[in-house]
Amino acid sequence: MALLEDLFGLKGKTALVTGGGSGLGRVIAEGYAAVGARVICADIDLSRADEVANAIVASGGQADPCRLDVWNEDSVSASVESLGNANLDVLVNFAGVATPPTMTHELSTDDWTRGVGISLTGTFFMTRAMLPKMRTNGGSIINVASILGLGGYFPDFPASSVDYAAAKAGVIGFTRQVAVEYAAEKVRANVIAPGWHGGTRLGDGRRRERTAEEEERFYTEMNRRIPMKRRGDASEILGLALYLASPASAYLTGQVITQDGGWTAC
């Protein structure tokens, strides 16, 4: 047990998780707290951040809520100030948005700007702001891309949109550059590129605009495309996120790890 705790434990570490108020971000925040980290649960919706932080504390963990809009530099600066003099050991950039699926020639400038702004520029704002908190003692930056940042997908109807694909591909390039710039200072940066997972809020915009028949077509096509014939469960992201945050991955940086049920193996 001692070896496992040394490899995968986060006792005494501070982790900030953006998008930590729901979905995969919540799973990660609660999981990190369970292995000893003090977690700053950051979300644009403070009530959701409060709920997660309170649940962690009720379970015996350490957590603080933080209202954070990753696409707002003043909000990002305030999140740095909330750390005080403490260093940051783990930064998980999970906050993102998926605009309603549409063909590229129909995509509005507003949706493009919002999609790229939150998912890519927000990742830049947070990473830039938190790096000074990580350079002294090292740490792990975990950015979230998508399988759609690795290859296009069009099953004869819009299943996503180009702003999302572009932003997630950008996150990959951004992370690799950060990884090589700060590797000598023991700051690691890696990417999780999830496939289709349940338990997230990313599909809310799609679900609001599509009929039941269109949604059924979407689910059928997704399951057909995934070799495991199912979407991932939100809880299944934790093992990978814990590995990338912990000493177990001390020699890993600049990498993209997909968790997609075999999607990218096809």
Cα 161 to the chain's mean position, in Å? 18
3-state secondary structure of 89: coil
Q: How far apart are CA 41 and CA 228, in angstroms?
A: 32
pLDDT of residue 214: 82
- Percentage of the chain with pLDDT > 90? 84
- Percentage of the chain with pLDDT > 70? 95
Q: Do residues 101 and 158 make contact, with C-beta atoms less than 8 angstroms apart?
A: yes
pLDDT of residue 236: 94
pLDDT of residue 209: 65
Quote the Cα angle for 246-251-254, to 5°: 95
Confidence of residue 6 (pLDDT cuts 50, 70, 90): confident
pLDDT of residue 138: 97
pLDDT of residue 213: 85
Quote the Cα angle for 80-84-90, to 5°: 60
pLDDT of residue 202: 60
Task: List pLDDT tens digits, range 188-241.
Answer: 999 999 999 987 666 555 556 678 888 889 889 999 999 999 999 989 999 999
Could you count the other beta carbons within 10 Å of the beta carbon of residue 31? 21
Mention every residue, 6+ apart, whose C-beta is less than 8 A from residue 185: 135, 138
* Mean per-residue pLDDT of the chain: 94
Answer whether residue 256 shows pLDDT above 70. yes
Active-site residue list: 164
pLDDT of residue 204: 58
pLDDT of residue 190: 98
pLDDT of residue 200: 66
Largest CA-CA distance found in the chain, in angstroms, rounded? 56
Domains, the chain, ranges and CATH?
Answer: 1-259 (3.40.50.720)
Answer whether residue 88 shows pLDDT above 70. yes
User: DSSP secondary structure string, 225-245?
Assistant: HSTTSSPBPGGGGHHHHHHHH
Confidence of residue 90 (pLDDT cuts 50, 70, 90): very high
Residue recorded with tokens 């090589």: 180
pLDDT of residue 248: 97
pLDDT of residue 1: 59
Q: How far apart are CA 138 and CA 130, in angstroms?
A: 12
Confidence of residue 103 (pLDDT cuts 50, 70, 90): very high
Mention every residue, 6+ apart, whose C-beta is less than 8 A from residue 124: 174
By C-alpha distance, which of 67, 68, 76, 29 is closest to 237? 29
Q: How far apart are CA 249 and CA 192, in angstroms?
A: 13
CA dihedral 6, 57, 93, 227 (to 10 degrees): 70
